[in-house]
Amino acid sequence: MERRTGDPVLDVRGLSTSFFTDDGEVKAVRDVSFDLAAGETLGIVGESGCGKSVSALSILGLLPRPGRVVAGEILFKGRDLLTIGREELRQVRGRDIAMIFQDPLSSLSPVHRIGFQVEEAMRAHDKVPSREVRPRGLELLNRVRVPDAARRERNYPHQFSGGMRQRVMIAMGLSNRPEILIADEPTTALDVTVQAQIIQLLRDLNRDLGTSIILITHNLGVVAGLCTRVVVMYAGEIVEQGPTEQIFDSPQHPYTWALLRSLPRVDSARLQRLPSIEGLPPDLIAPPPGCKFNPRCPFRLERCFRDSPELKPVGDGQTAACWVTMKRAYAEMGAASLVDTRPGVASGVGPPATATEAASDPEPEAPGS
Amino acid sequence: MAATLTPWEEYAGGTLAREQVGLWRDGLRRLRRNRLALAAAVYLILLVVMCVVSIFWTPYNPNLVGTCPDYTLPSLAHPLGCDDLGRDTLSRLMVGSQVSLAVGLICATIVMVVGVSVGLLIGYLRGVLDAIFALIINVFYGVPPLMVAIVLYVLLGPGLINIIIAIAAVTWMDMARLVRGQTLSIREREFIEAARAGGARTGRILFVHIFPNALGPIIVQTTYVVPAAILTSAFFSFLGFGVPAPQADWGGMASEGLSPLLSGFDPYMLLFPALALSLTLLAFNFFGDGLRDAFDPRQRR
Amino acid sequence: MTRGTLVYIIQRLAIIALTLLVVSFGVFVVVHSLPGNAFISQRVHGKSLQLLLHEYGLDQPILIQYWNFLKGAVQGNLGVSLYIRGEPVTPLVLRELSVSCELGGAALIVTIGLGITFGVLAAIRQNTWVDYLLTSFAVIGYTVPSFVIAALGVMVFANFLGTLTNGNFAYAAVWTGTYGTIGELWLPALAIGLYTSGQITRITRASMLEVIQQDYIRTARAKGLREWVITLRHGLRNALVPVVSILGTTVVGILVGVLVIENIFGIPGLGKEFVESITEHDYNVTVGVFTIFALLIGVSNLIVDLLYTVLDPRIRY
């Protein structure tokens, strides 16, 4: 895993996005910062509603109506994408930064031929000269491995299978040789074998074309197959980030840890219960004080109810936002042998001003920080 | 035949019934917030009041020729002026509302009764009846309903009742088609199967179970049938097929006012009945829109 | 054109033929059972009446009469007028058809042009004053009867404008000649078109609003397409299908409007003929007019249904 050198191609700093609905301001993304190096593959992971898609949409200004970026900078090639004019942003879209989406059936116009839609992406900008558009379109379809491309480019989206459609989307996205490709859950709507093919395709394209990729997903397996670095989000904030292998080997945030534990494994004991994370994500209009994960964290301390943790280095290139961190949880709270992951169970700490839960765990209480 | 509902039927029907009640209350609340629909409702209520009053009293005798000089322009004594035969326009307008409202409401009632019954039966029983219905619809779809209505009316002879029958005869099919569609989808829901398993007779199923669940769109459609019927009857009168003289009627009054308008010397004879007609139609349409917006289960953003 | 489409067209043409049969028969029977006839209105009675009735075959049983009519009709001969003795109905009706088509065609252009433009504008400027203005305009359009709009138009453009400009720029309310010039055509076309365009505006707006929410609009924007391209090529194009679905009703609406407006402005088309033939008891003409109308509607509905396949490649028969 080589050290990242040079200027990042994309630098997101302190991004905050909210949705101003009738029920109040939904703080979907809060103070998110990450960067992307040239040729790198970054994964953004989290459950539904954690703000990963919203962050991506914020980059290109594609937020739906009540949503708005309220703070932060998005630096791309020396310019802040949040402050450049509409026409400039339009030129960045599809030409320098491309985005593909989750459901390729609804993401392609049903009444236009797919060849046309791919060519349209090129004609919208002046990077590819007109006479090269058609041959390039065919070349792209071949590269993403659409069989019989010359004939099939005259077909409509509904005549393709899900996997084929996603390949077409990828071809469309890469048609202008963008520096960055953002893929928002590209495999979620596909079945498992096709998923693997798409991930493989993305990996090959990253290698051959040098395009940086941001992959947004809730599927950790997919991340493992493609990304060199991972950002873990929860309730609109980044809770951990770092090199993929390190995160998988020693996750430091309890959420990441629980997430990895909840993956079904081929080698687990047959009748073992699948560990899951109790509880639900917090209300983003009125989030609880302190660490947003505290209602569900087995290792929470009193401080977790008061102060919101910030990202701090916990390893080589790895940062996590937690007062406890798994190192301590393993050392002091017996995380290694923990079966019951109800909130507060391992630390014996309950929410303030309410009766503390009876600790069934015989381990001694962690000393308050 | 089960005299009481089976537990499953009760659960399904009960839950749905409670769902429905909630829907109604919710909808009523939304309706009250829609100011345009409320204004329309107020206008309509005033219209009905004026119509009822006109049965017993009008400022002048609407049919008396020579109440004022021909083509009087609006003045204090005659706020809407007089027509070409010296009859007071305001009084005629009031009496004319009787015809319009009668046509609208009676037509809508007939259409609702016939259309709903036929629609329910066809949607539920299907088979040969459905095929015949489809054939009838296809044939009638190919002719302008106004023309068919006119021919029917000429056949039946003059008179208000015959106008109503002629108009209803070309309008019921849309209602039947709507109800048929609703029935087709409702009949697939579980509580119908439960009712059938409980031994309920067809008639009971149709009217106790299916009909209440289709009521929403039916009511909305009916509020659109009223202005459509009034409009058609106005066209009738305008083309010369209306209620026989001397009965005042908005369409007829407008038709009489046409040549003075085209010749340029008295626009009011046409203006006032046309205005009355337009406002009434607008009011019905806005109210219908309000109903539909209020009771549409799809939430708006 | 696929084989399925061809089969579909043939099926539809068969249905049209069947409809024409049923309609013409129905109207024939109804109209012949009406009391009185053209001759009696012209005060012919007694022996000369009998002679005339025999000459025109009106003393034979209805079914025989209809059979004769049918035989002639499939060869294009729709009989002869009773009011204007001996004048063949077919050329009369066809000439008036062309007049009505001119008016109807103009109204159609108004309808679609205004309707779609307003609908798109209202949708992309949803909930702004533009939206409220255009939507109110549309509602007034399809609620207020066409003769009211026509009358208002005359009031403003003929009378008011006439007195204002001393008769120089007024609208001439009465047609000269068979075919109208654009100067004469625009007001009647507008009066008809405003009504039907209101419905189109509504549906276009609703459909556009739904389409704008779709994912492929987001994709189009992510590709960096210009805003107007997104609105028209991806938005409107996809929104057209529901609009086409009411085109059938719209055509009927235009025909009804033509019927009424012709009678107001004295335009010598099928609408005026229809009313006249009924009041004059000129039955053959009535049947002829009805048949032509039914044919028009049948064909236009077929065209609309075929339009679906062009617009939405997912629809194939």
Judging contacts by C-beta atoms under 8 Å, the chain C residues touching residue B131 are none
List, in sequence order, every beta strand (DSSP E) within A56-206.
67-76, 79-80, 97-100, 180-184
Q: How far apart are CA C174 and CA C57, in angstroms?
A: 38
Report d(CA C2, CA B297) in Å as an integer: 40
pLDDT of residue A357: 42
Per-residue confidence band for B189, with pLDDT thresholds at 50, 70 and 90: confident
**Does the pLDDT value for residue C178 go beyond 80?**
no
Coil vs helix vs strand at A273: coil
CA distances from A16 to A13, A65, A82, A211, B204 (A): 9, 16, 12, 26, 59
Per-residue DSSP letter, B266: -
Cβ atoms of A173 and A99 within 8 Å: the answer is yes
Q: What strands, in cross-sheet order, belong to the sheet with A67-76?
A: A24-36, A10-21, A67-76, A79-80
Cβ of C223 and A156 within 8 Å?
no
Which of the two residues, A184 and B88, has the higher pLDDT score? A184
3-state secondary structure A32-49: EEEEECCCCEEEEECCCC
CA C311 and chain centroid, separation: 23
Nearest to A93 among C215, C221, C238 (CB): C221
Lowest mean pLDDT among B59-73, B106-120, C128-142, C226-240: B59-73
User: How far is it, in rounded angstroms, from Cα A164 to Cα A158?
Assistant: 11
Cis peptide before B246 (omega within 30 of 0): yes
For residues B15-43, give the mean pLDDT.
72
Say yes or no: B274 contacts chain C, CB-CB below 8 A.
yes
For an interface test with C, the pick among A22, A63, A103, A109 (most C C-beta atoms closer than 10 Å) comes out as A109
Question: Mapping DSSP to helix (H, G, I), strand (E, B) and coil, where does residue A84 land?
Answer: coil
Bridge partners of residue A25, in order along the sequence: A20
More confidently predicted of C226 and A355: C226
Higher pLDDT, B9 or C283: C283
Using a CB–CB cutoff of 8 Å, tell me whether A67 touches chain C: no
**pLDDT tens, position by position, B128-170:** 888 888 888 877 777 788 888 888 888 887 888 888 999 998 8
pTM: 0.80
User: Would you call C256 and B146 a contact, using CB atoms and an 8 Å cutoff?
Assistant: yes
pLDDT at A361: 41
Query: Going by C-beta distance under 8 Å and a sequence separation of 6 or more, which residues neighbour residue A97?
Result: A10, A59, A60, A76, A178, A179, A180, A181, A182
In this structure, are residues A134 and A119 in contact, taking their beta carbons and an 8 Å threshold? yes
C211 vs C62, residue with greater confidence: C211
**Residues B78, B79, B82: CA angle, nearest 5 degrees:** 50
Closest CA to A260 of A226, A288, A232: A232
pLDDT digit string (tens) for B198-223? Answer: 777 777 777 777 777 778 788 888 88
| Helix locations, A217-302, DSSP H | 220-226, 244-249, 254-261
Which residue is closest to C235 within chain A, CA to CA? A109
Q: How far is C221 from chain A (nearest CA, A)?
A: 8
Q: Is it the case that residue C31 has pLDDT exceeding 80?
A: no
Residue B41 has pLDDT above 80, yes or no: yes
pLDDT at C236: 92
Q: Which residues of B touch C264 (CB under 8 A)?
A: 258
In the predicted model, what is the mean pLDDT of chain B?
Answer: 80
pLDDT per residue as tens, chain A (369 positions): 334 556 889 999 999 999 998 888 999 999 999 999 999 999 999 888 888 999 999 999 999 888 999 999 999 988 999 999 899 999 999 999 999 998 888 899 999 999 999 999 999 998 889 899 999 999 999 989 899 888 988 999 999 988 899 999 999 999 999 999 999 999 888 888 888 889 999 999 999 989 999 999 988 888 888 899 999 999 999 999 999 999 998 888 988 888 888 777 777 666 666 777 777 888 888 888 888 888 888 888 888 888 888 888 888 889 998 888 888 888 887 777 777 777 777 777 777 764 444 343 444 444 443
Q: What is the mean pLDDT of residues C241-263?
A: 87
Residue A108 has what pLDDT?
A: 93
Task: Report the alpha-carbon distance of residue B145 to residue B229 in Å, rounded.
Answer: 11
Q: Is B143 left (phi over 0), alpha (psi -120 to 50) or beta?
A: beta
Task: Name the token pair of B278.
Answer: 């337009």
**Amino acid C44: pLDDT:** 67
Best C12, C22, C136, C148 residue to mutate vs chain B (most B CBs within 10 Å): C148
Cα dihedral value B35, B39, B44, B50, nearest 10: 160
Greater pLDDT, B298 or C245: C245
Residue C126 has pLDDT above 60, yes or no: yes
pLDDT computed for residue B285 by the predictor:
87
Please state, in angstroms and rounded to a whole number, the distance separating the CA atoms of residues B260 and B263. 5
With beta carbons under 8 A apart, name residues in chain C contacting A111: 237-238, 311-313
Inter-chain residue contact B278 with C301, CB threshold 8 Å? no
The predicted pLDDT at position A169 comes to 93
Probe site for chain A from C210, C211, C223 (most A CB atoms < 10 A): C223
Other beta carbons less than 10 A from residue B297's beta carbon: 9
Residue whose structure tokens are 């203006």: B271
Task: Evaluate whether A342 touches A278 at the Cβ level (below 8 Å).
Answer: yes
Which pLDDT belongs to residue B5? 52
What integer pLDDT is reported at residue C317 of this predicted model? 72
* Higher per-residue confidence, C22 vs C62: C22
**What stretch of H or E contains A167?**
helix A162-174
pLDDT for residue B63:
78
Inter-chain CB proximity A110 and C223 less than 8 Å: no
What pLDDT is attached to residue B81?
78
pLDDT at B24: 67
In order of A318, B151, B261, C262, C280, the CA distances from C94 in angstroms are 85, 21, 32, 16, 20
Q: Given strand A229-234, what is the order of strands in its sheet? A: A97-100, A180-184, A212-217, A41-45, A229-234, A237-243, A318-320, A312-315
3-state secondary structure at position A155: coil
pLDDT at A229: 93
Question: Average pLDDT in the B15-40 region?
Answer: 70
